[in-house]
Structure 1
Amino acid sequence: RVLAPFLRKVKETYPAKTIWCYTGYVLEKDLLPEDGRKHCEATGEMLKYIDILVDGPFIEEQKNISLKFRGSENQRILKLKEILL
């Protein structure tokens, strides 16, 4: 809730900047559905300003230090502008 206005301001001030967000939650399961574990009234607005979302929890057993921008095999790098039209 607190981040939505901040993300809006950053995007308005620096429209060419790419905003990344790391979350331990899964987009389709926890964030998008209205009954998702971490969905709230600000979720849609926040996702609108995020360009790249790295989702999924870090799992020690799937740790892979050769991955770029993520720590474990289960985590995904999602280009939200392509997913959320």
Structure 2
Amino acid sequence: GGEPFEPENQAVLVHLLKKIRETYPQKDIWCYSGYLFDQDMQPGGSVYTEYTKEMLRQIDVLVDGEFVEAKKDLTLIFRGSSNQRLLRLKDGEFAGMWED
């Protein structure tokens, strides 16, 4: 549990992500965050720190956006509410929507 992109969590998690990437280079790394990639995780964003970009470089698929009970949809794959997005990342940059 917990929010990986909370600023106080990033310094520790970036090292964990790198270790996972080194140990299992063939595996995709997925991350869930209530924050938004294109707003909160960019320079000047509410959770952007010196570690954010490196964390994003280690992630293959980012599920972003807060879970919203009013938009809950049990037919969605890998997300709980329709406002959440499945973003493919490449070297920490947006590479397209993940197609389910």
Instruction: Output the TM-score relative to the length of structure 2.
Output: 0.79
Counterpart-to-counterpart distance in 1, 2:91 and 2:85: 14
1:69 is aligned to 78
> Structure 1 unaligned runs (5+)?
none
Q: 1:48 to 1:82 in 2, by over 3 A?
A: closer
Q: 1:13 to 1:83 in 2, by over 3 A?
A: closer
Contact 2:14 2:55 in 1 (8 A): yes
Give the drift of 1:81.
Answer: 1.5
Q: Which has the higher helix share?
A: 1
Could you give the per-residue CA deviations for residues 7-58 of structure 1, whole angstroms, max 9, x where no partner exists?
Answer: 00110111001100000011001001x2101111100000000000000000
Instruction: Output the TM-score relative to the length of structure 1.
Output: 0.93
2:68 is aligned to 59
1:30 is aligned to 40
Q: Which residue, 51, 71, 85 being the options, matches 1:42?
A: 51
Counterpart-to-counterpart distance in 1, 2:64 and 2:14: 18
Q: Which residue, 27, 36, 47 being the options, matches 1:17?
A: 27
Is residue 2:18 matched to residue 1:8? Answer: yes
Q: Which has the higher strand share?
A: 2
Identity %: 50
Superposed CA RMSD: 1.5
Give the drift of 1:83.
Answer: 7.4
> Structure 2 unaligned runs (5+)?
1-10, 96-100
